[in-house]
Structure 1
Amino acid sequence: MSKINLFKNGLKLMLMMVVVYIAYAFITGVLLFAFIATDDNGYQKEQSVERFYGQKEGPDRVVLVEDRYQSGLTRLDLISNAEKSLDISYYTLHEGTSLDIFLASIIEAADRGVEVRILLDGLFHNLRGDLKDVIYTFYQHPNIELRLYEPLNLAKPWTFNNRLHDKFIVVDRQKVLLGGRNIGDKYFVLDPAQYDGLASNDRDVLVIKTDNADTSGSVVYDVIEYFNLLWEHEYTDISVSSLTNRQQRNADKKREELRSFLAEQKSKYPHRFEQEFDWLEESHPTKKITLIHNSITRFNKEPRVWMDITKLMEIAERSIIIQSPYLIPTSSMKEYLNLANVEADTKVLTNSIGTSSNYFAMSGHIRNRRDIVDAGADVFEYQDQETVHAKSYIFDERISLVGSFNLDSRSAFLSTETMLVIDSYQFAAQLEDEIESYIENSLLLKEDYSYASSEVADKKSVPTFKKITIRLLSYLTYFFDFML
């Protein structure tokens, strides 16, 4: 047999192996989830929403962090003022100025003795290419540990869907910053003149454990306990176990690059690093704050966050306000909620096709949003020049939820998700004002799913290519809503 024939046969074999693997990955990583049962550990029967309500002022105060620029400065302030520990958990990191400042500030904190633990999603952390050296730099530092939740395992495609979607920072076991923002320029826009992408409007809450005589009920401890659960979990692995000589050199180089970059930023933009925040002065009192999160399992999780949200929707008496980047209430989600049982006036804010950059999610949104409209909710689609990425709920002007949970099947059944349930009339009022400011730049969906006219907002134009692509995708994703 000639070398050419051997090459052709080898190529055919490789192609066959690729096709076989793709089929294997599709069956076990996608189709399997349509048939496998959802975990049921009795959470819905055991947990009552009454636990979200407090009777007197609790040990935690809360600050709403809404503005993009302020949210970046908030992170700088918390990291730069940390004295003992930082526990950091994020879904994804986007290359750019904001990330470099974030990474350099972590190294600076560790240099002064702060113990840092960083937990990132194992697939979407983005510490690859030039950023790969950051992993080596963290490994070298005696005060930094980096772990990855469910890293890539090609032999187990079903693990591809078990994603860490949490976004929070715990500082000195005294403060928690939690919300929907990942780390990247579009979430903070530190320098609008240098950022011309689609900015993302998101939301964080800063929880401060006060010196209340009884701090045992502080949600800060619950967030730490949840972080420890993930940190020590069998699905979590160390990022690297040793470094080669070349990797050590690269780590040294990257560390010095980040230190120099931070020094340059402090010299060039001192106002970013010299802000003085009086967090207690800006905070609202709360009766109680509760952490809710999904179960930590592979395959279809017990949808604990969605269960709690649906219970709160059904007991709401006067009003419900919802904000989510998209609305994809799949049939599996509706098994936990009968929209006919929701009697409170419901207002929903979400993206329009024009503002969202997530083509796959919007392909499910344009089909499934009608269920919410048909149920009698007022659905407003944002029409401004940015996108809305925050995930929030307000019930009867008292109970607020803020965190990482999107109104879709992926957040309900597949990913880790965290939401803070905040019992505070004052906080709820401020949050409602912020959501209403977005609604002013939105259009109401009518019963025929067209837009009602508005004296303030104009329909944002959508490129023809985008409209056609999303429409075509909607026919494909019709069969895979459970993956959106």
Structure 2
Amino acid sequence: MSKARLRRLAWILPLLLVALVGSGWLLADHLTPAASGAPSWTLPASGPATPLDREAAPLLTAHPGQTGVLWLSDGLDAFAARSAISQRAGRSLDVMYYIWKDDIPGHLLADQLYQAAQRGVRVRLLLDDLNAHGLDPHMLAIAAHPNIDVRLYNPIRNRGGFWRLLEMLQRVFSINQRMHNKAWIADNQVAIIGGRNIGAEYFNARDDVNFRDLDLMLLGPAVNQASTIFDQYWNSQAVVPIDALNPQSQAELDRLLLRLERESRLSQAAPYLARVRQRITLPAVRQSHRLQWSASIAVVADPPLKHRNSPRQDWLVTRIIANLGSAAERMQLISPYFVPGQDGNQALIAMRRQGIAIELVTNSLGATDVAAVHSGWKRYRQPLVEAGVQVFELKRRGRRAGIAVPFGSSAASLHTKAYLVDGRRGFVGSFNLDPRSATVNTEMGVVFDDPVLGQRLQQEFAWLAASDRSYRLGLDQQGRLQWRDGDGHLHAHEPDTRWWLRGWVWLLGLLPIESQL
């Protein structure tokens, strides 16, 4: 090839790429698949009472106007709770998730949806499409059931190969906007809201990770709010039925059912099924003594079209900033990814100088699954410690390789996302304290204003910050960061890491990527 032709290609190829991406930026709303699904809404409680209706009724009568909360920090309990309410559902299951893994617990919970549909329960399953790639055969198989409808948030119309890659390049800006919400709602009576996706690491059944997450199971009026949010997403212009992108197959459904039946007999499934047998009735009823009741509970979320026509005052981040800014005495923050930004960091330092106690638990570099996010956290860490913020970083534990990657494997030690202000105003949900949750993804969670619930969240914070689980950061005599271990040992650099990983994080910190972290 001549030099002249190479020079022309050197100009033409970048121009073509700019034109491709530019067309996606200008025409993103017109390039996305049309929302072709028929509208549907939460089913009213009519006809014969379902098992969940009957079991919830006496508790709701005893606590009028209040919502009961069951804390699900144990992974197997969180799995069993989803299974138990699905088995007791008699009317509807509305389920929405950012990630649904193609693994044993993912298959077992998919089977719960299928078994409910077989009983006549209407099932609506909403998944973020970016992480659903590769699951099409399974989800299409489930969607072949007449009582199951599967839809995808912000989907890619080309499901594989070169054309999928080309579409991702063209729509790089719009594809970046994802649905990070998590909810499992049964009969509009019980809802599980929190930080967990569906997969083995989220339910503590893998022996190669040390994982901590948190869900809240709700019983009462706040469940109606969760159902309203689900309906808004389900019927939004950002959501497309999966069968509009791929054809359904009854044969594929038959193959999937055979696979699910075989997997239920595998040893890997035993811990999940054993815990389900222990919790086979509604956990909120069988364990009613563990329920905490409050009239100051609400389920909140970003609007589904957050980036198109929703004013910023309707975004969840606006409410969270206002809540955190109202602290008068104490603030406790739990976030796997903590990237406050320059303004947020200065606000925290100013509050600390006003005498407000601030404590933070996040992942250490050795524990995180996204090194790029740690590079963002790293630049804000020392000023916070110097200002007197109590910073704890969760340790890497378990038999992991210790390799953090730029875009994540979701195998971090800490996945809980929560905060508590002045011991009573709190949040538990999907919202990380970082730019991506604030301005890019949609998020969802539970807010409360209750000292009893606040005390329970304080216990969760104390468990995470304990010296056998977390390093406490401080400064040496030269003003450099150091990590204090539970036995008093001091580390002069990021514990449980090697030089190449620390170097990689330093290099990532030079890139202008903070808005995407």
Give me the TM-score of the superposition, normalised by structure 2: 0.76
Relative to structure 1, the CA distance from residue 21 to residue 400 in structure 2 (aligned partners, 3 Å threshold; closer, same or farther) is same
Residues 359-438 of structure 1 mapped to structure 2, 5 A cutoff? 359-385=371-397, 387-438=413-464
Size of the aligned set, in residue pairs, is: 433
Q: Distance in 2 between the 1:366 and 1:433 partners? A: 27
Q: Distance in 2 between the 1:62 and 1:354 partners? A: 33
Would you say the 8 A contact 2:204–2:210 is kept in 1?
yes
The residue that corresponds to 1:53 in the other structure is none
Q: Distance in 2 between the 1:231 and 1:348 partners? A: 35
Matched, 1:175 2:201: no
The residue that corresponds to 1:165 in the other structure is 180
1:12-51 deviations in whole A, cap 9, x for unaligned? 989965873377539977xx9xxxxxxxxxxxxxxxxxxx
Residues 12-411 of structure 1 mapped to structure 2, 5 A cutoff? 20-21=16-17, 24-25=20-21, 58-126=65-133, 128=134, 131-152=135-156, 154=167, 155-190=170-205, 192=206, 195-196=207-208, 198-209=209-220, 218-241=221-244, 247-262=249-264, 271-276=274-279, 277=283, 278-295=286-303, 296-298=305-307, 302=312, 304-331=315-342, 339-341=349-351, 343=354, 344-385=356-397, 387-411=413-437
Matched, 1:443 2:471: yes
The residue that corresponds to 1:474 in the other structure is 509
Moved more, 16-25 or 373-382: 16-25
Moved more, 375-384 or 66-75: 375-384
Shift of 1:254: 1.3
Relative to structure 1, the CA distance from residue 301 to residue 376 in structure 2 (aligned partners, 3 Å threshold; closer, same or farther) is farther
Shift of 1:334: 6.6
Relative to structure 1, the CA distance from residue 307 to residue 413 in structure 2 (aligned partners, 3 Å threshold; closer, same or farther) is same
2:420 counterpart SS class: strand
Relative to structure 1, the CA distance from residue 381 to residue 457 in structure 2 (aligned partners, 3 Å threshold; closer, same or farther) is farther
Moved more, 271-280 or 221-230: 271-280
Would you say the 8 A contact 2:153–2:238 is kept in 1?
yes
Relative to structure 1, the CA distance from residue 260 to residue 122 in structure 2 (aligned partners, 3 Å threshold; closer, same or farther) is same
Equivalent AA in structure 2 for residue 378 of structure 1:
Q
1:53-85 deviations in whole A, cap 9, x for unaligned? xxx984201011101222222222222222211
Relative to structure 1, the CA distance from residue 229 to residue 306 in structure 2 (aligned partners, 3 Å threshold; closer, same or farther) is same
Shift of 1:368: 2.8
1:271-312 deviations in whole A, cap 9, x for unaligned? 233123324222111131122222332269727322222222
Would you say the 8 A contact 1:60–1:289 is kept in 2?
yes
Would you say the 8 A contact 1:302–1:413 is kept in 2?
no
Relative to structure 1, the CA distance from residue 372 to residue 151 in structure 2 (aligned partners, 3 Å threshold; closer, same or farther) is farther
Q: Distance in 1 between the 2:462 and 2:22 partners? A: 42
Equivalent AA in structure 2 for residue 314 of structure 1:
G
Shift of 1:482: 0.8
Relative to structure 1, the CA distance from residue 333 to residue 161 in structure 2 (aligned partners, 3 Å threshold; closer, same or farther) is farther
1:364-420 deviations in whole A, cap 9, x for unaligned? 111133454355321111124161111111111112210000011010011110121
Would you say the 8 A contact 1:305–1:419 is kept in 2?
no
Moved more, 73-82 or 346-355: 73-82
Relative to structure 1, the CA distance from residue 15 to residue 234 in structure 2 (aligned partners, 3 Å threshold; closer, same or farther) is farther
Equivalent AA in structure 2 for residue 249 of structure 1:
A
Equivalent AA in structure 1 for residue 234 of structure 2:
W
1:183 counterpart SS class: coil
2:474 counterpart SS class: coil
2:513 counterpart SS class: helix
1:315-355 deviations in whole A, cap 9, x for unaligned? 222211100012211247579x5752464211111111111
Shift of 1:204: 0.4
Percent identical: 25
**Alignment gaps of 5+ in structure 1:** 33-55, 210-217
Shift of 1:249: 2.0
Would you say the 8 A contact 2:93–2:187 is kept in 1?
yes
Relative to structure 1, the CA distance from residue 267 to residue 403 in structure 2 (aligned partners, 3 Å threshold; closer, same or farther) is closer
Moved more, 416-425 or 369-378: 369-378
1:136 counterpart SS class: helix
2:180 counterpart SS class: coil
Relative to structure 1, the CA distance from residue 375 to residue 307 in structure 2 (aligned partners, 3 Å threshold; closer, same or farther) is farther
Equivalent AA in structure 1 for residue 102 of structure 2:
E
Would you say the 8 A contact 1:294–1:301 is kept in 2?
no
